[in-house]
Each structure stands twice: as C-alpha cells, then as structure tokens.
C-alpha cells in the first residue's frame, strides 16, 4: 500500500514527486535517510520520523523494531543503490581507467541523486548503537570498500602504496561531497566526479 504523503514538511520539500512512488516501508526508509542526514541520527526520533511519514509512532514499529533497526536498513539500501549504479556503469567495460572513471562518476551521481532513494553516508558511526548494529553497518561499508579496492587492483601503483588506504582516501573524498554540495549553482555531480578523477589519476603509474 502506498503511503499517504504529508505535504510541505521538512522531508517532503526535499522529495520530488517521482521519488514518492514508494511502498510504505520504502518510504519510511527514505524519510529516515533524509532526517538522519539533515538533523543527525541522535536528534531524529522515531516520533519525528512517524510525523514526517504521516503515521502514528506505533505504526512505525510495525515496520521497524527500533530506530537502530531503521538505521541499518537505511545504510543497507544506501550502499545497495551505489553498488547497483556502479555495477551498471562498468558492465562490459574492460579498460581499467575507463572502468574506474565510469565507477567514480556513477558513485557521485548516485550519491547526489534526488529523484529516487536519497543515499545516506555516515562518515562516523553513532556512538550509542549496539555492537550488533555496529557490526552490520561496518559489514555494509566493508563490502563496498572491497568492491572498490578491486577496481584499483587493475592499476600499477607506486611501490609501497597500500591500495586499501588509497581506496579509503578516494571513498572519503567521494562520500564527503554531500556535506558541501549545493544543488543550485556550482558544479554538477558529473563535473565533481571528473575533478576528483583528475586529482587521483597521478597516483597511478602510467
């Protein structure tokens, strides 16, 4: 069943009409992603999320057992969205630099997409979450990190370069973009990706 959309709320001002075509659970996850990103995880209560969705708090717990459970779902879908975009972009591309370029551009565009599910990137994990939730969030992060490192393995990097460190540095640059990115004005997502590519290209031996 599709959710009844509340108009003119903090969240729905950010969700374009086409992006609202979600089932209830998916829509809750989308709303939570925006609130966690704009207000912070600690400052966003289940009551806040329920109010933005337009349901009673008790109904929210029908879909998610806790805010922590909802956070794990948000991060899981965020990682999955970027992975799907990258996988589609690099399919059938064999040349390493062209493949890496396609991956970077797809990552940035998925990260900054406002037409569908809005990706939540957590540069640091909330200190109050349980060990179980922390392990799950780290697992999602590591899964994508491994896929990204595999792209770098095709390059000859200078002796002594730790490709895992290099991967994390590049991912750190990419995932910090939403902090300073402006939708109106400035560079487009693709232009930002191309600028990052020009910065990191020197790390690869030609």
Query: Is residue 66's pLDDT more than 90?
Result: yes
Domain range for 60 is 1-64
Measure the CA–CA gap between 15 and 101, rounded to whole angstroms: 29
**Has residue 119 been placed in a domain?**
yes
Torsion, CA 171, CA 28, CA 31, CA 19, rounded to 10: 90
Task: Determine which of 14-18, 26-30, 163-167, 192-196 has the lowest per-residue pLDDT on average.
Answer: 14-18
What is the number of other CB atoms lying within 10 angstroms of the CB of residue 31? 30
91 and 45 in one domain? no
pLDDT above 90 covers a percentage of the chain that reads: 36
Between these two residues, 83 and 179, which has the higher pLDDT value?
Answer: 83
Domain boundary among 45, 64, 83: 64
Measure the CA–CA gap between 11 and 14, rounded to whole angstroms: 5
CATH number for the domain that contains residue 108: 1.10.357.10
**Has residue 69 been placed in a domain?**
no
81 and 16 in one domain? no
Q: Say whether 52 sits in a helix, a strand or coil.
A: helix
Q: What is the pLDDT of residues 93-144, one digit of tens each?
A: 999 999 999 999 999 999 988 777 788 887 788 888 999 999 999 998 888 8
Measure the CA–CA gap between 4 and 24, rounded to whole angstroms: 9
96 and 36 in one domain? no
Q: What pLDDT score does 179 carry?
A: 83
Task: Determine which of 6-20, 24-38, 59-73, 130-144 has the lowest per-residue pLDDT on average.
Answer: 6-20
166 and 142 in one domain? yes
| Structural contact between residues 3 and 27, judged by C-beta atoms closer than 8 angstroms | yes
Measure the CA–CA gap between 33 and 188, rounded to whole angstroms: 22
Domain boundary among 22, 44, 64: 64
CB-count burial class (<10 Å; 0-12, 13-18, 19+) for 9: middle
With CA atoms as reference, report the closest residue to 147 among 204, 90, 64, 77.
90
Q: What is the pLDDT of residues 78-92, one digit of tens each?
A: 999 999 999 999 999
Q: How is residue 102 written in tokens? A: 């396609």
106 and 56 in one domain? no
139 and 55 in one domain? no
172 and 128 in one domain? yes
**Has residue 51 been placed in a domain?**
yes
Domain count, the chain: 2
40 and 19 in one domain? yes
82 and 184 in one domain? yes
């Amino acid at each position: 069943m599709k959710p009844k959309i509340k108009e003119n709320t903090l969240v729905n001002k950010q969700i374009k009409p086409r992006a609202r075509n979600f089932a209830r659970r998916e829509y809750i996850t989308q709303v939570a992603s925006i609130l966690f990103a704009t207000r912070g995880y600690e400052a966003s209560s289940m009551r806040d999320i329920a109010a933005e969705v337009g349901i009673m708090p008790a109904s929210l717990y029908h879909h998610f057992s806790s805010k922590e459970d909802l956070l794990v779902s948000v991060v899981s879908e965020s990682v999955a969205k970027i992975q799907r975009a990258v996988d589609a972009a690099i399919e059938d591309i064999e040349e390493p630099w062209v493949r890496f370029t396609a991956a970077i551009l797809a990552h940035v565009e998925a990260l900054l997409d406002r037409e569908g599910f809005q990706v939540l990137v957590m540069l640091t994990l909330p200190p109050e979450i349980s060990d179980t939730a922390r392990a799950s969030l780290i697992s999602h992060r590591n899964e994508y990190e491994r896929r990204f490192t595999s792209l770098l393995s095709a390059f000859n990097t200078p002796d002594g370069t730790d490709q895992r460190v290099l991967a994390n540095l590049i991912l750190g640059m990419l995932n910090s973009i939403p902090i300073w990115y402006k939708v109106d004005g400035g560079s487009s997502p693709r232009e930002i990706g191309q600028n990052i590519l020009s910065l990191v290209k020197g790390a690869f031996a030609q």
